[in-house]
Amino acid sequence: MGKARGKALGSQAGGRKAKPPSNPNPFEVKINRQKFQILGRKTRHDVGLPGISRAKAIKKRTQTLLKEYKERDKSNVFTDKRFGEYNTKITPEEKMMKRFALERQRNNEKKSIYNLNEDEELTHYGQSLADIEKFNDIVDSDSDTEERGMLSAELTASHFGGGGGLLRKKTSEPGEEEEKPKSRKELIEELIAKSKQEKRERQTQRENALELTEKLDSDWKEIQFLLSRKTSKLEKKDKEEKPKPDAYDIVVRELGFEMKAQPSDRMKTEEELAKEEQARLKKLEADRLRRMLGKEEDENIKKPKHMSADDLNDGFVLDKDDRRLLSYKDGKINQEIDDPNEEEQAQEGSEEDWKEREGDKESDTEDSEESDAPDSHSDLESHVDSEEEDIIHENQQKKQLQAPEKKSSDANQKAMIEAARSELPYTFAAPDSYEELKALLSGKSTEQQLVVIERIQKCNHPSLAVGNKAKLEKLFGFLLEYIGDLAAKAPPDLKTIDKLVVQLYSLCQMFPEFASSSVKFVLRDVVHEMEEMIEIKGRAAFPGLDVLIYLKITGILFPTSDFWHPVVTPALVCMSQILTKCPVTSLQDVVKGLFVCCLFLEYVSLSQRFVPELINFLAGVLHIATPNKGTSGYTLVHPFKPLGRNSELLFVSDKEDMDTWPKKGLPLSKVNGLKDSSKTETNHIRLSCVSVCLNLIKRCLAMYSTLPSLPEIMKPIKVLLTEHIPECGHPRELQELCQSILQEMENQGKNYQPLVCEKSKPVPLKLFTPKLVKVLEFGRKQGSSKEEQERKRLIHKHKREFKGAVREIRKDNQFLARMQLTEIMERDSERKRKVKQLFSSLATQEGEWKALKRKKFKK
C-alpha cells in the first residue's frame, strides 16, 4: 500500500519538477553541491525543494493514510454505482456509450412539458440538423436566396418582439378572435402548432421535388441515345462547314510525314578501315601484354565496374551497336545476309541453285569462303561474346582485304577445291561419334575432307537449330581426335592436319570454353600416360608425333604469352616434363626433343620467359654431338648422361657425308619411322639436328640477353662450343654458326648490378592514443552481454525500489505515530481541560456554598 502510494508521490514530484515554479522562495530551495563536474552526466537531484515536497507528502498522507486510519474500525463502505467503473473488460468507448444510453433512457422516462419533439432529432426550421450539415438541400438554398435578408414578421415578432409584440397583439385585437384574451400559455401553444405545420408542409414539398427530379432523370435516360446520335450528325455538319484543304497543304503535310532516309555514317575509306584494323590489333595486343604481365587479376579486383548514375542495376547491358555500317566493296554493296530463314532456304535450295551461286562466286573477286563468312558472323551474335565476335568480324574483313592478292597464288588450289566441292553432297549431318566422322572422312582427299568439314559446320550452324551448338562442340573434339589419329599413322598425314588447323581455329573461336577444356583433357591424358610410365619403369619414352602436334595446336589456338592461361600453362608443364623426364635414346628422340624446344621458344617468344629445361636440353644435344670424352668444364642434367650408350648419338665421323650435307629443315613426318633410311641420310639428319640446335641456341641468346645471369645460364653451352664442337670437323656453315654464337656471347654486356629491394613503406610509429570505446549510454555497465546488462539493470532497479518502499513505509509509520501522538495529546488536553473545568465549577460551587455559609454565620 505504502509502496504504491510512494510511487504515486514520486511521479507527482517528478511531474512538478518538469515545470518548476517560476520563482521559488530561495529559502526553500536546497542545492546539492557537486564535488566534480562530469561531462555528459545527467544531474537529477541537484536542486530540491524539501519544504514544499514535505508539505505535499504530508498532505497526501492526510488525504489517504490518515483517512484510512480514521476509518479503521468503521464498517460502512462507499459503493460506486457508476456503470462498469471497475470492469476492465469494457473499453472506455463502450463504457461511455452505455452510460450515455442509460442516461437517455433515464431522461426519457420523465416527461417534461417542454420536451416538444418526441424524436431526439435536433432540428432547425423543422429540418434535422444532420441534413443541414450535409448541405444537400438545394431547394432550401434557392429559397434562401429569394428571400434573402427578409425575416418573416411572425418570426421577428416572436423572436425579437419578445413579449412586447405578443402583448401588443393581445392589446390590439383582444375581442376579435376570442373575448377572452389569450393567455401566455395559449399563445405559445399556437406558435408551436404553427411552426409544426410549416415544417410538415416543407417536408412534403421537398419530397415532391425529389420525386420530380427522379422522374426527370428516368425520362432523360430514355431519350439520351436519341440525343447522342443527333449530336454526331451535328458535328459532321460542322466539319463540312470547314474550308477544304487545298492541294498545296496536302503536299506539305505529306512531305512532313514522309519516311525520310535516316542519316547514316558516311562510307569508310580504305585508309580508315586500315586504321581501324590497326587500332583493333593495338587493343588486342595491349590486352595480351596485360595478361602477359599477369596484371589482370589485380586489376579485376581493384576496379569495380563503372556504373552510370542512371543505371537501373537490372543487369541490362547494351552490348553492341546493332546498326550495321554500309560499306562498299569493289563497287558493290557489301551486304550481309541477315535472315537466318533466308539462309536456310539457300542451304536447302536445289543443286542447280547452288551451282549457279557458285558460278557467281567464282566470277566474283571474293573467295568462296568469304561469302559464307559474313553469315557465320551474323549468327554468332547470340553465342559468342561481343568482343570475340568483333575479332572474328575483323578477321573476316582482313581476309577480304587480303583476298585479291591471295587469289592468284591460290588459284590452283581453289580449282581443286571447287572440283571437290562439286563431287560431294551438300548437306552433312553432324557426326554423333568419332567413328562416324572417321567414316565420313576416310578415303577422301585432303581437299574433299576440308569441304566435308566446312559443310558440316555450315549445315549445323548454331543459329539454325537449338542442338547445333553441342553438335559443333562435339565436332571440335572429334576433329582433335582425328588429327591425333592422322599424326599417329605410319606415314603421318601432316598435309591434311595443316589444313584442318584452320577449321579447328574457327571452331575454337566459336566455342572457346569447350575447346579449351577438350585440349586440356588431351594434354592431361598425355601427362597421365607419362606419369604412369615413370612410376612403372622409372623413366618415360618420348611421346609420339600426335602429342607434339597437339602441343603445337595449343600454341596456335591460344595466346601463349599470358602470365597464366588455363590451357597454355599446363601445356608448358607438359613440355617441361617431356624435356626432363624422357631420356634420349634415338635420333627420332632428338628430333622430337628439338621440336619441343622449338615449341617452347615459340611459346615464350613474345613474353621472353626463361625456360631452364630448354637450355639443359640444347646443351645435352650439343653434348651428344661431340665425341665421347666425358664432361669437362660443364655438367649435364638429368635426361642426359655424360657416358653411356647414347652419348654419341649425333656424332658424325664420315667426312663425305659432311661435305654433301644440304642445309634443310628437319622432316617431321620421319619422326614416326626413321629406321629405313640410309646411313648417309641418317648422317644428314644428324647434322641438321646440330644445325637446328645451334640456331635455337642463337635464338635463346638473343631472347635472354636481358637476363641478369645469362653468362651462368649459357656457361655449359659456351664450354661445349669453344672446346668440344670445333673438334668434330663439322661443315663450314655450322662452324660459322658456332663462331657467330660465340661472338654474340662475347658481345653480351656483363653487367652485374647489385640487387636492391624495393623500398618498403616505413612502419608508422606507435602512437599512444587512448583506446576509444563507444559509450552508448552513460551509467550503464559496459562490456557485457545484453542479457547480463538487463539482469544487472533489473537488480539495480529492484534494490532502489526496495529502498524506496522501506523509506516510504518508515515515513508512513512516522506520520501515523505523529498523528496518534497528536490525538493522544489532544485527548489528554481535553481531559485536563474538562477536569480543570470540573474543578473550577466545583470550586465555584464550594466557594458559593462557603460564601452562603459565611453569610448565614454573619447573619
Residues 651-690 that bind other proteins (CB under 8 A): 664-669
> Which residue type occupies 710?
L
| Number of residues in contact with other proteins under rule CB under 8 A | 107
**Which residue of 204, 747, 753, 769 would you call a contact of other proteins, by CB under 8 A?**
753
Does the footprint of other proteins cover residue 354 (CB under 8 A)?
no
Interaction between residue 602 and other proteins (CB under 8 A): yes
Which residue number, 49 or 604, has a Cβ lying nearer to other proteins?
Answer: 604
Which residues, listed in sequence order, are joined to residue 328 by a DSSP beta bridge? 333
Cβ at position 559, least distance to other proteins in Å: 5
Which of positions 518-537 make contact with other proteins (CB under 8 A)?
520, 523-524, 527-528, 531
Give the phi and the psi of residue 332 in degrees, each rounded to 5.
Answer: -120, 150
Question: Which amino acid would we find at residue 784?
Answer: S
Give the sign of the dihedral formed by CA 259, CA 263, CA 264, CA 269: positive
**Least separation in angstroms between CB 401 and other proteins:** 13
Max CA pair span of the chain: 205
Please, which residue, 9 or 572, has the CB nearer to other proteins? 572
By CB under 8 A, tell whether 542 contacts other proteins. Answer: no
Q: Residue 756 Cβ, how far from other proteins at the closest point, in Å? A: 5
Among 358, 370, 381, 388, binds other proteins (CB under 8 A): 388
SS3 annotation, 302-313: HCCCCCCCCCCC
By C-alpha distance, which of 464, 472, 474 is closest to 379? Answer: 464
Amino acid identity, position 571: A
CA dist list (Å): 477 to 450, 474, 523 = 16, 5, 13
Nearer to other proteins, 209 or 391 (CB): 391
Contact predicate 407/399, CB 8 Å: no
Q: Is 695 in the site for other proteins (CB under 8 A)?
A: yes
Q: Which H or E element spans position 416? A: helix 386-423
Nearer to other proteins, 754 or 770 (CB): 754
Give the residue carrying C-alpha cell 533466308.
Answer: 342
Which position among 437, 475, 572, 700 is part of the footprint of other proteins (CB under 8 A)? 572
Question: Judged by CB, which is closer to other proteins: 346, or 403?
Answer: 403
Q: Does position 507 bind other proteins by CB under 8 A?
A: no
- 570 binds other proteins per the rule CB under 8 A: yes
CA distances from residue 177 to 42, 181, 194, 655 in whole angstroms, order as listed: 88, 9, 17, 173
615 binds other proteins (CB under 8 A): yes
- Taking CB under 8 A as the criterion, the residue among 552, 718, 724, 730 binding other proteins is 552
**385 lines the binding site for other proteins (CB under 8 A):** yes
Tell me which residues in 456-495 interact with other proteins (CB under 8 A): 494-495
Instruction: Dig out the grid coordinates for 497 from the structure.
Output: 592436319
Nearer to other proteins, 144 or 297 (CB): 297
CB 52 within 8 A of CB 28: yes
For the bound state, the minimum distance from the C-beta of residue 549 to other proteins, rounded and expressed in Å, comes to 7
CB of 505 to other proteins, least distance (A): 5
Nearer to other proteins, 396 or 463 (CB): 396
Q: Which residues, 6+ apart, have CB-to-CB distance to 643 below 8 Å?
A: 628, 630
713 binds other proteins (CB under 8 A): yes
Of 81-89, 133-141, 344-352, 601-609, the window that binds other proteins (rule: CB under 8 A) is 601-609
Q: By C-alpha distance, which of 417, 555, 552, 423 is closest to 483?
A: 552
Regarding 403 and contact with other proteins (CB under 8 A), the answer is no
The one among 65, 451, 480, 604 contacting other proteins by CB under 8 A: 604
Least CB distance to other proteins at residue 416 (A): 16
Which residues contact residue 416 at a Cβ distance below 8 angstroms, ignoring those fewer than 6 apart?
A: 447
Q: Does 284 bind other proteins (CB under 8 A)?
A: yes
60, 4 Cβ separation under 8 angstroms: no
Taking CB under 8 A as the rule, does residue 605 contact other proteins? Answer: yes
How far is 30 from 23, CA to CA, in rounded Å?
A: 14
| HSE-up (13 A, CA, CB side) for residue 554 | 34
Residue type, 546: D
Site for other proteins in 766-805 (CB under 8 A): none
